Chains A and B, each alone.
Chain A
């Protein structure tokens, strides 16, 4: 098995999950991973060292280009849709609200959230993966957290930064 095949075999499950968090559905996630890995295959010989940063970059860039091209047209209707009432009693409603809010973030904010909180990348690593400055990552992260109503200053007891 060559290095590329080995990489795909070992990392595809994780990449699918990351892609799902970026796209919001599994079918698009599969398409995104396939496309990103195809691009990675084309550049494989030029990738030196750990391929992950390159693949993350391809993944987020490809998703961003899809996001920009995606049709966001509304369907005209005379009736307002019913709004879901969150079920605060069980906590499931709060999670649903948070998940829904993640879906409404911009592609860049969402990518920062996913790379930092799901993939565990540091902010400089996020900046490298997204091809932007550290300052931009910090700004995007702060804006995203504000929109999600996540307060970094609130920590659970015994949980590190």
Chain B
């Protein structure tokens, strides 16, 4: 008993000709995908958080003497990509006449961090080891915020309204971000917050968009950064 290739083709076609009727539910697939994203992100945050726990330093308003003695990193140190520690990236104690009232430093990128704010909070300043990294600062509960590449002087954002939390995301320089104005996008997907298939920088202040990008980039990326929260009065 032997067969030809055509016997084989015929058999495969014949066996699949009558299929039980069942529509594939796109909405269900997307819901399942979102659950996977959420799980990945949660696990990533947990692992990164655990790994970085020893390195993660929440800074008080008044830095201890040992921290204050360290000079603030200059352009040359941040852009040289030497192995900086979070402590090297310590934000200054005062900035533009404002006093640092909070902040943190981290060794991982691709995940969001909430910082407490007070009615007196006026400025947020983020410093990165990778000077091309994308920084997203958003005021929780509002649509206000900013997404920009981390420059030599970091990224600053003026807080002009009272919020309880400020969320900061730092993504690697190669993150799929398009910083053109939305009007210049050929295809702008408002729901996904994308511009021609990449995440629109202006949309990254939305939690769901930043979250989706974190799912794409991964959340266990090495990269030191620090943020200072400054208050007046």
Contacts and interface: CB of A to CB of B under 8 A. Distances in A.
Q: Do A and B assemble together?
A: yes
Interface of A: 2, 4-5, 8-9, 12-13, 15-17, 20-21, 26, 30, 33-34, 37-38, 41-42, 45-46, 88, 94-95, 97-99, 102, 113-114, 117-118, 148-152, 154-156, 159
Contacts of A114: 12
A26 B12 CA distance: 14
Interface in B150-192: 176, 189
Interface residues of B, dominant DSSP: helix
A127 B200 CA distance: 36
15 contacts: A16-B19, A26-B19, A30-B22, A38-B33, A41-B30, A94-B1, A95-B7, A98-B3, A98-B11, A113-B12, A117-B12, A149-B2, A149-B3, A150-B2, A155-B6
Given A8-B26, A41-B30, A45-B194, A151 B19 contact: no
B52 interface: no
Given A33-B24, A37-B24, A150 B19 contact: no
Contacts of B5: 117, 150, 152, 154-155
A117 B23 CA distance: 25
Nearest 10 A/B pairs, CB to CB? A12-B24, A17-B16, A41-B33, A118-B12, A150-B3, A5-B26, A154-B4, A38-B32, A149-B2, A37-B29
Nearest to A17: B16
How many chain B residues sit at the interface, stated as a range, is: 35 or more
Contacts of B197: 45
Interface of B: 1-9, 11-16, 19-20, 22-24, 26, 28-30, 32-33, 36-37, 176, 189, 194, 197-198, 215-216
A8 B12 contact: no
A37 B5 CA distance: 30
A155 B20 contact: no
B203 to A, nearest CB: 14
A151 B33 contact: no
A46 B28 contact: no
Contact of B1 (A16, A20, A38, A149): A149
